[in-house]
Structure 1
Amino acid sequence: MKILKYLPLICLFWIIAGCSDEFLELTPEGTPSDATFWQTTEDAESAANALYELFTDDEMVGRGYFWFINASDDMVTGRVKADPDNMKNFICTGDEGYIRDIWAKKYRVIKRANDIINNVPEMDIDPDLKNRVLGEAYFLSGLMYFDLAYRFGDDRAGVPIIDRTDLSDYNLPRPGSVTENYAYIVSEFEQAADHLPYFSEYDASDRGRAHKTAAYAYIAKTNLYWAQYDASKYAAAVQAADQVIGSGEHALMNTGNPAEDFRAVFSSANNWSSEYIWSVVSNTQTGSILPGVMFENKGWGKYNGWGYYQPTRELYDSYEEGDARRDVTIFQKGTVFNYFGEEFTWTQTSNNETGYMFGKYVEPFSDVSRVNPNGDKPSTDLNVPLMRYAEVLLIKAEALIADGKNGDEPLNLVRERAGLAPLTNTTLEDLKQERRNELAGEWSDRHFDLVRWGDADAAYAEPLHAQDGSIVWPARPQFDPAIHHVWPIPPHEVESSNGVLTQNPGW
């Protein structure tokens, strides 16, 4: 993707003009400004490329943002680290490490999107490029609000929505409910879908940009989350999912060999397969560091992974017998894989707490040239998936079942690829298991699934175990579903608002 190559240069305008909530007014002589920047095709392309620049940050799609997901019963932190441990134990403050900067960075992308939406329509450039750039801006705006809304918002308060018609004041109150956010997010993604091309219409150099069915997929997911508060949104989730399914752009990778097919989903050779919806574009210099973060610490003398986010016995035991996804998703003692060109048998090191390691992102470690040699930035040439076609099918299945309809067809497509027999009259419990087993260790956010299903209280009342049955994480009776269904807004954001931005109750 060519935007990765030029990211250090394309962000000059926003760096100079100010891209944090301070919004610097100083403009050094000779640098671009609003009056001089929005003129050429190159300006529009640079503005669009800058939307993706922060995706290389750890807070966005690396170790830091995964701390939210680490709260679930599928994994433990894996290494003693106070900040993620406090989040997992629901005793955090919102000022932990990478978490405290997430709020500002999401709004920084939103500012860049708003600048595009306010300026590009008046530019005299190719109409197709204009549509694409606008579509990318609407998509990234919707995605940033989505990430903020469901993690920090509920029916008591949403997250601030920036008024595009008045960009003079970014110190705004929270809407009365997150449903206002969801309505806005859906409208952003709808605008994106109207403006964007299909993925298949992109040249190879533009792969990784927002595209039409990605927008529809996130409309479906937004409506699914919205349905907690308004059951009519289940039908809207199905309708949006059908836009993806009926597009002819996507299909599950399924050749009839379940283990190999599922393993192939997480191969860099299939970064742009029929299952791709939305990913973090990565290479050996930049992108998501999650593969190295999850890789075994000490690396058996060859590569020093970080050893975070280790699967639990609870996750391992949740798979049905014969489910081909289990041994691809979870490595244990005796698992054989290709490690830097050699056949290697996985062994538990002294740094591993559970006796397991997530295996989905291991494939690039078959070749040293496909891994960032800088162990402090352990990205690979595997694009880490944020949304896969399988999740779209599961969103449709869940929405149908929750709406009292039959979800067998989309759910069984996922089961069939895993080598499992079809089910009839599938229930929400069936869906919960399929979603857990298909998407374990990914960005689908198991923790929030438990929260929105009302299952978190019971799940966190139980300890988590290692392969040998020992307890690796004690029960967490301190989880209060009336408080901990959302996360604390970073305190410095609240304090700097002079009383305009309110903290979530109980935090």
Structure 2
Amino acid sequence: MNIRYKFIAVLLAVVSLSSCSNWLDINPEGVVPSDDIDFTDPSQMYGPVSGVYAEARTRMTQWEIWPILNVRGDEVTKGGGSAAEQMDYSNIENFNYAAAKNFWAMNAAWEAFFKVVNTTYFNEELLDRFLENLTDEADVARAASYRGEIVFHRALAYFYLHQLWGEIPLVDPENVTNAYLYKSRVENVRAHLHELLDYAIDVLPEQNELQGAVNKYTAMTLKAKLALIEGDFELVKSLTDEIINSGTYALVAQEDYYDLFKIHGKLSSESIYEFQFSDFDAGDGPQIYADAWFQHQGPRNNPVPITGWGFMLLQPEYLDFLNQHNNGERDEERWNLAVLESGTTTPSGDEIAEFDPDYMEGKAHYNGKAYTPKDQMTEGRPDYGTNNNVRVLRYADVLLMNAEVKARLGGDAATPLNLVRERVGLAPIASPTVDQILEERRAELSVEWGDRFNDLVRTGQAASVLPGYVAGESEYLPVPLRQEDLNPNLLQPAI
């Protein structure tokens, strides 16, 4: 069964918390109402897990999160109709954090990720109520695996909170609505993340019976990304070697690469995790839609259904990079996938109206990884991106992490690197350097969950590449002013 159909069958409701005003006084949507569950029936035990998937995909694809994650790198600028539209994204892009401290979108991102964390705790409690009634060992084992899926999503939300803010509060599981939590130091946040992911790795199956649900290797991939940021190259090597040697994943063929982020590429052989959405192949009726995640990146002034707000415009520097990446020539496969050029017709036959923003040189180039062609959309669904998924973790990233650490530690870096290069028609590199592998990451992983900014920071290149970046000051955003008002403890030093 495809997990996206499982979601729609689960009854979801809002669980009301106390009415006190505090920074965690939020209603965790996606929690299965306990009155509708027979906790003596093991067949209903997946309900709380489905609720976590639903909450994660809803909250973590809120459109306002995406620019915050990505504009600090050198791939995109905020875009929009004018330089003044959502100006605080430009403040974040230029590392003028003080001016953005009261930015509504930054506060919304903070709250969205913590809503996911809270939901994992609430729904884990529901799973515990099943455990009280289980007598069959197989059911007990399934419950442990289900808990691993919940815990993974807690780690995923914490990972992006940490990526953005560094020192963050860690929710007290004994009192999820605690109003007075302190920030935790970076090393403590990372230690907690490893603890969560180690637990998930230990209890999750190598293959999940539901297509697209998380498994052991999903958790291992996230742990490897964390270890790469920390510079623990031996751990990255061990984790990525195991994922590769498992044979669970494979890169799609070159002829399928163009569709990798489109509807035809959903849940491909290289998908390690993606947020799933569906219109159930029907032109009307219920659907699970990614709100404005696709729309805010869609072409401005274009006819329905290929239309949007024109945010997340690719920087000229990134376009120049792609135009030179194939031995001084255009990296054609990457360009067709990652770049949606205004004033042209796409390989899928969609005409994209030219947009010449007055705050940029030249015409607009949109993020091609958010492009869903009209001929792949269900007739009758006018909203851009309907029925497409949002990719989160990919096998290409695993291969490139593996190549990088082997280039650093010694080992066969060429094989994993060249798998990624050759599938887009690029010549192999016999003895790749770390810099060449980092360039390949830039080409392959553009505009994906802030990976480029992370790479520049962890390799010490950010200050020389990103105007306005100051080492030791620009790595993390400030805590949103709204959260400090609700919880003054967030003004105190991390513990």
Q: Compute the displacement of 1:483 (Å).
A: 1.1
SS in 2 for 1:142: helix
Instruction: Work out whether 1:452 is the aligned partner of 2:446.
Output: no
Match of 2:223 among 219, 224, 247: 219
Q: Compute the displacement of 1:89 (Å).
A: 2.0
Q: Compute the displacement of 1:59 (Å).
A: 5.8
Aligned partners of 2:12 and 2:18: how far apart in 1?
13
Which residue of structure 2 aligns with residue 355 of structure 1?
364
Aligned partners of 2:25 and 2:352: how far apart in 1?
49
Match of 1:91 among 84, 91, 96: 96
Which residue of structure 2 aligns with residue 307 of structure 1?
310
Which residue of structure 1 aligns with residue 150 of structure 2?
137
Task: Answer whether contact 2:116 2:154 (CA < 8 A) is retained.
Answer: yes
Which stretches in structure 1 are left out of the alignment for 5+ residues? 25-30, 228-232, 462-477
Q: Given the superposition, is the C-alpha separation of residues 195 and 428 from structure 1 closer, same or farther in structure 2, using an over 3 Å criterion?
A: same
Which residue of structure 1 aligns with residue 30 of structure 2?
none
Aligned partners of 1:23 and 1:61: how far apart in 2?
16
Aligned partners of 1:62 and 1:503: how far apart in 2?
31
Q: Return the letter of the residue paired with 1:482.
A: G
Task: Answer whether contact 2:62 2:293 (CA < 8 A) is retained.
Answer: yes
Q: Please give the per-residue CA displacement for 1:304-348, whole angstroms capped at 9, x wherever unaligned.
A: 312111112211221322522123211336743266xxx344442
Instruction: Work out whether 1:102 is the aligned partner of 2:102.
Output: no
Task: Answer whether contact 2:251 2:269 (CA < 8 A) is retained.
Answer: yes
Higher mean Cα deviation, 181-190 or 124-133?
124-133
Q: Given the superposition, is the C-alpha separation of residues 69 and 310 from structure 1 closer, same or farther in structure 2, using an over 3 Å criterion?
A: same
Q: Compute the displacement of 1:277 (Å).
A: 0.6
Q: Compute the displacement of 1:479 (Å).
A: 2.7
Which residue of structure 2 aligns with residue 286 of structure 1?
288
Q: Return the letter of the residue paired with 1:283.
A: S
Q: TM-score, normalised by structure 1?
A: 0.80
Q: Please give the per-residue CA displacement for 1:59-87, whole angstroms capped at 9, x wherever unaligned.
A: 64534333221222111212132131222
Aligned partners of 2:181 and 2:39: how far apart in 1?
27
Identity %: 23
Q: Please give the per-residue CA displacement for 1:382-424, whole angstroms capped at 9, x wherever unaligned.
A: 2121111001111112222334555222111111112111113
Q: Given the superposition, is the C-alpha separation of residues 355 and 65 from structure 1 closer, same or farther in structure 2, using an over 3 Å criterion?
A: closer
Give the CA RMSD over aligned residues. 3.1
Q: Given the superposition, is the C-alpha separation of residues 480 and 131 from structure 1 closer, same or farther in structure 2, using an over 3 Å criterion?
A: same
Which residue of structure 2 aligns with residue 164 of structure 1?
173
Which stretches in structure 2 are left out of the alignment for 5+ residues? 28-32, 280-286
Aligned length: 455
Instruction: Work out whether 1:2 is the aligned partner of 2:5.
Output: yes
Which residue of structure 1 aligns with residue 407 of structure 2?
401
Q: Return the letter of the residue paired with 1:487.
A: L
Q: Compute the displacement of 1:293 (Å).
A: 2.2
Q: Compute the displacement of 1:369 (Å).
A: 1.9
Instruction: Work out whether 1:485 is the aligned partner of 2:466.
Output: no
Q: Compute the displacement of 1:279 (Å).
A: 0.9
Task: Answer whether contact 2:69 2:449 (CA < 8 A) is retained.
Answer: no
Q: Given the superposition, is the C-alpha separation of residues 248 and 406 from structure 1 closer, same or farther in structure 2, using an over 3 Å criterion?
A: closer
Aligned partners of 1:213 and 1:287: how far apart in 2?
27
Matches within 5 A, 1:152-301: 152-153=165-166, 158-165=167-174, 167=176, 169=178, 171-175=180-184, 177-199=185-207, 201-202=208-209, 206-227=210-231, 233-254=232-253, 258=254, 260-284=255-279, 285-288=287-290, 289-300=292-303
SS in 1 for 2:102: coil
Instruction: Work out whether 1:429 is the aligned partner of 2:400.
Output: no
Q: Compute the displacement of 1:116 (Å).
A: 4.2
Higher mean Cα deviation, 59-68 or 482-491?
59-68
Aligned partners of 1:165 and 1:497: how far apart in 2?
18
Higher mean Cα deviation, 190-199 or 112-121?
112-121
Task: Answer whether contact 1:152 1:488 (CA < 8 A) is retained.
Answer: yes
Match of 2:425 among 419, 424, 432: 419
Aligned partners of 1:293 and 1:423: how far apart in 2?
38
Task: Answer whether contact 1:74 1:314 (CA < 8 A) is retained.
Answer: yes
Task: Answer whether contact 2:343 2:355 (CA < 8 A) is retained.
Answer: no
Which residue of structure 2 aligns with residue 369 of structure 1?
378
Instruction: Work out whether 1:22 is the aligned partner of 2:30.
Output: no
Aligned partners of 1:372 and 1:459: how far apart in 2?
42
Task: Answer whether contact 1:113 1:138 (CA < 8 A) is retained.
Answer: yes
Which residue of structure 2 aligns with residue 66 of structure 1?
67
Aligned partners of 2:16 and 2:76: how far apart in 1?
37
Aligned partners of 1:303 and 1:76: how far apart in 2?
21
Q: Given the superposition, is the C-alpha separation of residues 500 and 443 from structure 1 closer, same or farther in structure 2, using an over 3 Å criterion?
A: closer
Which residue of structure 2 aligns with residue 326 of structure 1?
335
Aligned partners of 1:500 and 1:72: how far apart in 2?
27
Greater relative contact order structure (CA < 8 Å, 6+ sep): 2
Q: Return the letter of the residue paired with 2:238.
A: Q
Task: Answer whether contact 2:479 2:490 (CA < 8 A) is retained.
Answer: no
Q: Compute the displacement of 1:437 (Å).
A: 0.4
Q: Please give the per-residue CA displacement for 1:225-265, whole angstroms capped at 9, x wherever unaligned.
A: 122xxxxx2111111112221222100112xxx3x332132
Aligned partners of 2:370 and 2:125: how far apart in 1?
39
Aligned partners of 1:455 and 1:330: how far apart in 2?
25
Aligned partners of 1:187 and 1:370: how far apart in 2?
46
Q: Please give the per-residue CA displacement for 1:429-485, whole angstroms capped at 9, x wherever unaligned.
A: 112110110011322532222222222222223xxxxxxxxxxxxxxxx33222111
Q: Given the superposition, is the C-alpha separation of residues 38 and 224 from structure 1 closer, same or farther in structure 2, using an over 3 Å criterion?
A: farther
Aligned partners of 2:491 and 2:298: how far apart in 1?
39
Aligned partners of 2:297 and 2:67: how far apart in 1?
11
Q: Given the superposition, is the C-alpha separation of residues 70 and 167 from structure 1 closer, same or farther in structure 2, using an over 3 Å criterion?
A: closer
Task: Answer whether contact 2:25 2:177 (CA < 8 A) is retained.
Answer: no
Q: Return the letter of the residue paired with 1:182.
A: R
Q: Return the letter of the residue paired with 2:12.
A: I
Aligned partners of 2:463 and 2:246: how far apart in 1?
39
Aligned partners of 2:103 and 2:218: how far apart in 1?
31
Instruction: Work out whether 1:78 is the aligned partner of 2:79.
Output: yes
Aligned partners of 2:459 and 2:8: how far apart in 1?
42
SS in 1 for 2:169: coil
Task: Answer whether contact 2:69 2:450 (CA < 8 A) is retained.
Answer: no
Task: Answer whether contact 1:280 1:385 (CA < 8 A) is retained.
Answer: yes
